[in-house]
């Protein structure tokens, strides 16, 4: 249960409500106990008491006045007796004395009416208290879950691309949505339930001990084996819960992956395959969940059987003693004892189930803590500085990079990109071109060497200031389920609409956007599903143009455009490149002939470098790739 201690900081601002809720729970338990103790006067003093000379009826008012007076006297005497030996016996004797004094003054019908009124008041008060504490803890639970989910989302935003590359998006979504909800359903709610049940058990056991210490000790003999049995079942529940959480994460991943790639699924007629894959994992999830629920279902019948055995044994032993007039307690006291004992059975069974559900919640908490405890592979140094402009150069100095220790993706990369210079990266697929530009904004950190901007190592620069200097358009166009306007203006606050329109015109997007029914306020759908590939790419270019950064990174930026759009966008890019440092990755080598420096990347190394004419004259890999595209 130590995992739940890690969640306590999320309750810091809610302690007053929590203590108020726990106080109301305790108060409700006291009212539950009071309702059971009413069996004693009803049986012993109203129905079975010998009638000698019964007083005349005096009405309800005097009886309440005397009851209030006697209650005050009982509390005074009970507090004194609580510090002495045999305190339970003495408190019971004090209660008997005050009750007998009370009964001498009123008729049995008056007392019965009084007890009925008290019973109604107790039930009403108990229900109001339970409602109040339920409202409090519903609010506490929802606020806590909101803060956990917010904190988890903030935590995810801090991780580098390496973190996301090593994990499935479906699993992360499952943790953020499903696991957080499990923490709410099986943790927050159950901790409250556990306290409520524990309070009830303590109150009823105190009542049982006050009535008869001997009978209470007999009952306690049965407790250890019951708890050992429940503990074994609870551990099994926790294990199967952990497995089921992993399986639901697998299902979430399959759903997310299939729906986001539905065009490919249908294009390759793979619907049946995806159905089989989903049903296979769904079957595994069903098995794990079935076993978990099976062990959970065992708790109730086992505890019911044991409870009934204990209750029947006590009824036979205690009831027989009362019938034979050998019992030191009266029939009313015995039924109070039985009522208190049987009243502990429900919360004790509930405690068993609750602990099982808390164990299930523990598996979800562990999965959340895995995210919170994951190390940040990219972080800012304590003395990180703000970088506002790029005045001279970006330098790669013997840079190497690997996603894992076994495979080195970039090896000993050194070059200088001057301000206003276009640096083009070409080479076969998988050579490391995209990785090279990804380490400039520190999506990944270099494993060896250094990248510096105007002599400052980028690892000594704040991440926000570094990335604000860059505009990125990748071959995988990322758009949000929002309006055209908001997609172009993404990352820029309080923007003048005219600047958005200008960026759109420069990217050759304005004409097709204005043809939409709602123009720039048109919703483009999830990931821009309502747009063509070329339209999505041009909006992404407009977004980069609007940011107006000193460093531009184009990763296959014009790959999805038709010839006319590519020409117009390339013109806009050429104008934008003036006095900026630009990195261009292109498969169409015709688009980078004007680059100041062309780096040919092969197997993670710079195989060739120079401008177009120099590389063509060298008759190397660049020349070979150019001729292949020309002939095709």
pLDDT in tens, 472-524: 877 667 777 778 788 888 877 778 888 888 888 877 788 888 888 888 888 87
- Asked whether the predicted pLDDT for residue 399 surpasses 80, the reply is yes
What tokens appear for 517 in the block? Answer: 């029914």
Between the alpha carbon of residue 567 and those of residues 506, 513, 564, the distances in Å are 12, 19, 5
Query: Dihedral sign, CA of 20, 21, 24, 29?
Result: negative
Query: Minimal CA–CA distance to 189: which of 237, 153, 141?
Result: 141
Instruction: Count other C-beta atoms under 10 Å from residue 215's C-beta.
Output: 20
Question: What is the chain's percent helix, strand, coil content, to nearest 5?
Answer: 65, 10, 25
Side by side, which strands form the sheet with 470-473? 470-473, 551-555, 581-585, 422-426, 597-602, 605-610
Domain ranges for the chain, please list them: 2-54+107-372, 393-631
Rounded CA separation 377/435 (Å): 16
What tokens appear for 146 in the block? Answer: 């909101």
Our CA dihedral for 16, 21, 22, 26, rounded to 10 degrees, sits at: 140
What tokens appear for 72 in the block? Answer: 């005050």
Rounded CA separation 505/511 (Å): 8
What tokens appear for 27 in the block? Answer: 């108060």
Exposure string of 605-632, with b = 16+ CB inside 10 Å and e = fewer, is bbbbbbebeebeeeeebbbebbeeeeee
Rounded CA separation 339/35 (Å): 10
Q: What is the mean pLDDT of the chain?
A: 77
On whether the 393-631 domain is CATH 3.30.465.10, my answer is no
Query: Minimal CA–CA distance to 238: which of 279, 187, 171, 194?
Result: 187
pLDDT at residue 565, rounded to an integer: 60
- Neighbour-count burial of 388, counting CB atoms closer than 10 A to its CB (0-12 exposed, 13-18 middle, 19+ buried): exposed
pLDDT at residue 186, rounded to an integer: 64
CATH number for the domain whose boundaries are 2-54+107-372: 1.20.1560.10
Query: Minimal CA–CA distance to 527: which of 516, 515, 536?
Result: 536
Our CA dihedral for 65, 66, 71, 73, rounded to 10 degrees, sits at: 120
- What residues have CB less than 8 Å from 403, skipping those under 6 apart? 162, 165, 409, 444
Tell me the mean pLDDT in the region 202-207. Answer: 81
User: Lowest mean pLDDT: which of 328-337, 448-457, 496-505?
Assistant: 328-337
- Asked whether the predicted pLDDT for residue 162 surpasses 80, the reply is no
- Neighbour-count burial of 381, counting CB atoms closer than 10 A to its CB (0-12 exposed, 13-18 middle, 19+ buried): exposed
Q: What is the pLDDT of residues 274-328, one digit of tens each?
A: 788 888 888 888 888 788 777 777 766 776 677 677 767 777 766 666 666 555 6
Q: Please answer whether residues 567 and 591 qualify as being in contact, where contact means their C-beta atoms are separated by less than 8 angstroms.
A: no
Q: Residue written as tokens 């507090």? A: 79
Rounded CA separation 105/55 (Å): 6
pLDDT at residue 247, rounded to an integer: 78
Tell me the mean pLDDT in the region 342-348. Answer: 75
pLDDT at residue 42, rounded to an integer: 61
Rounded CA separation 38/281 (Å): 56
């Amino acid at each position: 249960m130590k995992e739940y201690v890690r969640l306590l900081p999320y309750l810091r601002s809610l302690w007053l409500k929590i203590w108020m809720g726990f106080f109301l729970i305790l108060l409700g338990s006291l009212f539950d106990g009071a309702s059971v103790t009413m069996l004693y006067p009803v049986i012993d003093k109203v129905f079975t008491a010998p009638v000698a000379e019964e007083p005349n009826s005096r009405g309800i008012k005097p009886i309440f006045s005397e009851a209030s007076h006697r209650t005050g006297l009982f509390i005074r005497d009970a507090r004194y007796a609580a510090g002495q030996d045999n305190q339970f016996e003495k408190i019971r004797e004090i209660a008997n004395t005050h009750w007998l004094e009370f009964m001498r003054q009123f008729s049995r019908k008056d007392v019965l009416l009084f007890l009925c009124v008290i019973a109604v008041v107790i039930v009403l008060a108990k229900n109001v208290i339970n409602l109040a504490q339920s409202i409090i803890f519903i609010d506490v639970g929802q606020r806590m879950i909101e803060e956990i989910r917010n904190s988890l989302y903030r935590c995810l935003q801090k991780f580098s691309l390496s973190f996301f590359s090593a994990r499935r998006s479906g699993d992360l979504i499952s943790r953020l949505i499903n696991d957080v909800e499990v923490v709410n359903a099986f943790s927050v709610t159950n901790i409250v339930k556990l306290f409520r049940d524990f309070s009830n058990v303590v109150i009823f056991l105190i009542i049982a001990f006050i009535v008869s210490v001997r009978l209470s000790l007999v009952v306690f003999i049965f407790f250890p084996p019951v708890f050992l049995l429940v503990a074994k079942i609870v551990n099994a529940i926790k294990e199967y819960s952990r497995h089921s959480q992993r399986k639901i994460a697998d299902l979430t991943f399959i759903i997310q992956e299939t729906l986001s790639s539905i065009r490919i699924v249908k294009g390759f007629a793979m619907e049946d395959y995806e159905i089989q894959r989903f049903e296979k994992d769904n079957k595994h999830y069903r098995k794990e969940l079935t076993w978990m629920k099976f062990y959970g279902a065992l708790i109730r019948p086992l505890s019911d059987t044991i409870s009934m055995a204990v209750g029947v044994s006590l009824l036979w032993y205690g009831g027989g003693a009362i019938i034979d007039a050998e019992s030191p307690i009266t029939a009313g006291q015995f039924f109070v004892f039985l009522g208190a004992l049987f009243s502990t059975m429900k919360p004790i069974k509930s405690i068993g189930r609750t602990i099982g559900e808390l164990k299930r919640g523990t598996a979800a908490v562990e999965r959340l803590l895995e995210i919170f405890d994951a190390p940040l592979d990219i972080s800012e140094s304590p003395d990180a500085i703000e970088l506002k402009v790029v005045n001279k150069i970006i330098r790669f100095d013997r840079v190497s990079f690997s996603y894992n220790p076994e495979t080195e993706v970039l090896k000993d990369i050194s070059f200088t990109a001057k301000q206003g210079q276009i640096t083009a990266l070409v080479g076969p697929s998988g050579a490391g071109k995209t990785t090279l530009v990804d380490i400039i904004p520190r999506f990944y950190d270099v494993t060896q060497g250094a990248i510096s901007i105007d002599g400052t190592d980028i690892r000594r620069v704040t991440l926000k200031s570094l990335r604000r200097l860059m505009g990125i358009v990748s071959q995988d166009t990322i758009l949000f389920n929002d309006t055209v306007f908001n997609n172009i203006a993404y990352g820029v606050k309080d923007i003048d609409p005219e600047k958005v329109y200008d960026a759109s015109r420069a990217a050759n997007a304005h004409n097709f956007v204005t043809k939409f029914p709602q123009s720039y306020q048109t919703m483009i759908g999830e990931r821009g599903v309502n747009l063509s590939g070329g339209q999505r790419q041009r909006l992404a270019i407009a977004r980069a143009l609007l940011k107006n950064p000193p460093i531009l990174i184009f990763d296959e930026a014009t790959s999805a455009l038709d010839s006319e759009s590519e020409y117009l966008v390339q013109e806009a890019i050429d104008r934008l490149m003036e006095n900026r440092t630009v990195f261009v990755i292109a498969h169409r080598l015709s688009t980078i002939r004007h680059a100041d420096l062309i780096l040919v990347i092969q197997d993670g190394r710079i195989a060739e470098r120079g401008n177009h004419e120099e590389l063509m004259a060298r008759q190397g890999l660049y020349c070979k790739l150019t001729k292949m595209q020309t002939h095709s």
